[in-house]
Structure 1
């Protein structure tokens, strides 16, 4: 493939030149065309320039999926500044290190989070605090209902005047219609600093260039065979502050001139309604979203036949979930793989009958992968033998911000060491075994939680499961399984252990089982195993 040497903001410019009257976003029923979106981006960029934002400055965008997120993102890029996406539910002890690490002086956030921003402004060094409200871009009735719900929750949408505190809509209204445009070196200039636990588990900011993100969006677009520019409709439920939603939904949709149906959070009943109402055709998501749709009581009464392409990421996708979703929609649901350091997509199953259940597929165009030994990472492993997955391609990051040692550990001789344990089959399909850092060592055995989770998920009564290693004085670590049962399911610990004994070696059978109503997950549905481990370590006994 050919990857143009261009700013990521060219995606929006191309869309508005070719499809100016095409609907770009739908937000609680309110539509915005590409011409309107481009005008808002230009005006907000002008407002940011008036505040002194220039090329290379870092600007935090702490918003859920809403029109203001897209406007902010591309306005920052227009000026050659760098977007720093922040989870809008973060608390102060999480937020301050993220802002100070990369030197953000400007933050764009929801009015409901103003008390938090006000409390950390001085410590974080924030000079420009720009607030907005979801209600500001909703139609009248939805806006009124939203305001009332926030009032009932005791959340204030009023922000008192204060030096350095600015209103998003006021800036748009009062700004000039044109903004200065920065010259971009796509290969070297940063577009996004995306926070991640990374391949080593410690928080750091991945430096993603314009070229990285342009390349990955074009790779994904190439993968979406049969999709038509200017005609597709995306369900935008994956959060844009996460690299998966940012690239696979927002950037790809803009490059295709598609419509995005924006959801600030994923609620199953809202998703079902909007898929039917707006004839959603492309639905990138996480396994938890597809499980929720498969099992929702309203699903049999909704027409979801418009969904043709769905790609699952962030966690392993059960083949049973995929088949059930395909039966409902008539479209295809395939599993892919990626990581923040690769913008993020590196692998996906083909949107054809050549997909393989349980596999994350084959590499994206112009992407290479190898499986190497776990100890030194220099010896390539034979077909079928597990080792660390390493990747090389145009989407691989420049490095970690101000972390040369971590960068050197992760990027070696042009290869990205993912920290994931995988194997290849004879056809070149990749199967993820587990995270290197999630590997459990019990009694001298290397155990991969996913092996056990897949067995337990075979039981039709099980909705979700997570297996972790908890401290054990004798074995080093002991296996514990946290299990969520489906509604009205009747399953005992003895049933689960009996099932495991028939399918797993003795050392892989969990010694401890815990039934839960839900598992801790991040905003894209990935189970947070570390929270379960920390919970166990905090117990008085130390176990």
Structure 2
């Protein structure tokens, strides 16, 4: 397959443009446009609280003006350490409005991780939940932070939920946090209430000015800040809009479970919703029962997610009691989507669930299967408009023959500017204008791409290359398996050998011998796991991606001890 010939374009429906005229506007312009075009349309629903686009825009302007009055301005990094809630959306667009750079911070970060990210980004301010405030206070003196802005989930809950929330907080977390406000510690709600509702105006060059420092997961050493401009993010959002061409502007409801502090949720839920004047239904955390109830009641039409989310819903014992047929389109990312899960979820909802592919460095999406068109199950689909992808030799960086496994390389308008203050690391991942993804895969003659695995996750046993994803796909086909993670563990004879970590479905059981026989029917003998470990749960990121690296580290610790 010659990537320059773009064979995948022949599969594009007429409705998807082969090239897009990208709007060279700052990201927050689209919020202003939505408020102007549909001021009274619902922008956000959050546990019974509704907010229109006019209200969202006015509160964003008010908060932006207050941020500026605190001395924050163009180029300053401001951290958002919040779950999905109205405050997260307001904070994001307000920081952009003053010309600031958003630093998304995972609310589960411990003090060491928090201290590192604040110092690496040189953040001047952080917006956090009251529950997280003690953690921030402990690291503040060791960082560049000048201001802490504190909010609570109850700030945007309706009556009487807002009155009852402290009781719930005490019950769930065992603490009610008391914040001492000062000239350096501010109440979010108070700032929004007192701020000027007129838009804060500043010149932004979308192609040059950074909108976001998005830190990579840190599975390969210290996390790196991925530099994404307004243009990178606008381009990827417009690409997403073109892909979901059947969706009607101003008419869709998007379920916002994917966390906005992850670039996938930020682009395909928040930025996409604002650009499409859509209604976001936000949930602060993923709970299968609450999610099913929300779908049945609120009737969302779009449900971006991750495989673990769809798996958890499908295995809910009472899923048949809930009407989830409002779902029309689901784009799955962050981890491989088992074919069985795709088939079952489409049957239950009547909608379309397709797998996509991307990485933080690409804002994040580069590929997806067509929601309405030619799909290839097991493939992550074809490149998005204006995106070129190739399979290259990891050694020579030259394209490899069709069907040959190599490293995936991509280029397009959504590709990052580089890593923050890491010139050497940036040079390592670029080959000319090609971004080297670190993922191994292959492409067929039609330009459909298949992910085999991360370069660093590949298992080499007895000289054979084994790709964990292939083994996991087989394990997922077994009726008893809920979740599977396959890793390579050290072996004196083979160098490495295959071990599977498994979570069983409720009420199901299986022996190692049964699994061994099952795998041997579907895999070459050298790929069959030599060891199995059953667990109640597997370690995951906040977006639901199973952390193989943690399992490997645990195995290494066992060997040492």
Q: TM-score, normalised by structure 2?
A: 0.94
Query: Over residues 162-221 of structure 1, what are the superposed CA-to-partner deviations in whole Å (9 max), with x where a residue is unaligned?
Result: 441111011112222235322111111100000004795541010000000000000001
Q: Confirm whether residue 117 of structure 1 aligns to residue 136 of structure 2.
A: yes
* Alignment partner of 1:49 is 2:68: yes
Cα distance in 2 for partners of 1:365, 1:199 equals 30
Q: Is 1:136–2:155 an aligned residue pair?
A: yes
Q: 2:291 corresponds to which residue?
A: 271
Classify 1:4/1:277 alpha carbon distance in 2 versus 1 (closer, same or farther; 3 Å). same
Match of 2:255 in 1: 235
Once the two structures are overlaid, the 10-residue window that deviates more, 471-480 or 162-171, is 471-480
Corresponding residue of 1:284: 304
Please say if residues 380 and 451 of structure 2, whose CA atoms lie closer than 8 Å, have aligned partners that are also in contact.
yes
Q: In the alignment, what sits opposite 1:542?
A: 560
Matches within 5 A, 1:156-175: 156-175=176-195
Question: CA shift at 1:504, angstroms?
Answer: 1.8
Q: 1:334 aligns with which of 354, 359, 367?
A: 354
CA RMSD of aligned residues (A): 1.3
* 2:8 aligned residue: none
Rounded to whole Å, the distance in 1 between the matches of 2:510 and 2:84 is 38
Tell me how far apart the structure 1 counterparts of residues 259 and 105 of structure 2 sit (CA, whole Å). 11
Give the whole-Å Cα distance in 2 for the aligned partners of 1:161 and 1:394: 43
Q: How far is 1:126 from its partner?
A: 1.4
Q: What does residue range 115-514 of structure 1 map to in structure 2 within 5 Å?
A: 115-152=134-171, 153-197=173-217, 202-376=222-396, 378-514=397-533
**Alpha-carbon deviation of 1:445?**
2.1
In structure 2, list runs of 5 or more residues that go unmatched. 1-19
What residue is the counterpart of 1:20 in the other structure? 39
- 199-208 or 242-251, larger mean C-alpha shift: 199-208
- Paired with 1:484 and 1:35, the residues of 2 have a C-alpha distance of 46
**Cα shift at 1:454:** 1.1
How far apart, CA to CA, are the structure 1 residues paired with 2:218 and 2:146?
29
Structure 1 segments unaligned to the other structure (5+ residues): none
Closer, same or farther: CA 469–248 of 1 in aligned 2, 3 Å:
same
* Number of residue pairs matched by the alignment: 541
Q: Deviations over 1:210-251 (max 9, x none)?
A: 000000000001101210000100000000000000000000
Please report the TM-score for the alignment, with normalisation by the length of structure 1.
0.97
Q: Secondary structure at the match of 1:37?
A: helix
Aligned partners of 1:466 and 1:527 also within 8 Å = yes
CA contact (8 A) 2:340 2:476 kept: no
TM-superposed deviation, 1:270: 1.3
Question: In 2, are the aligned partners of 1:198 and 1:341 still within 8 Å (CA)?
Answer: no
CA distance in 2, matches of 1:46, 1:161: 19
The answer to whether structure 1 residue 80 and structure 2 residue 62 are counterparts is no
SS in 2 for 1:104: coil
117, 137, 161: which one aligns with 1:98: 117
Q: 1 CA distance for matches of 2:285 and 2:32?
A: 28
SS of the aligned residue for 1:124 comes to coil
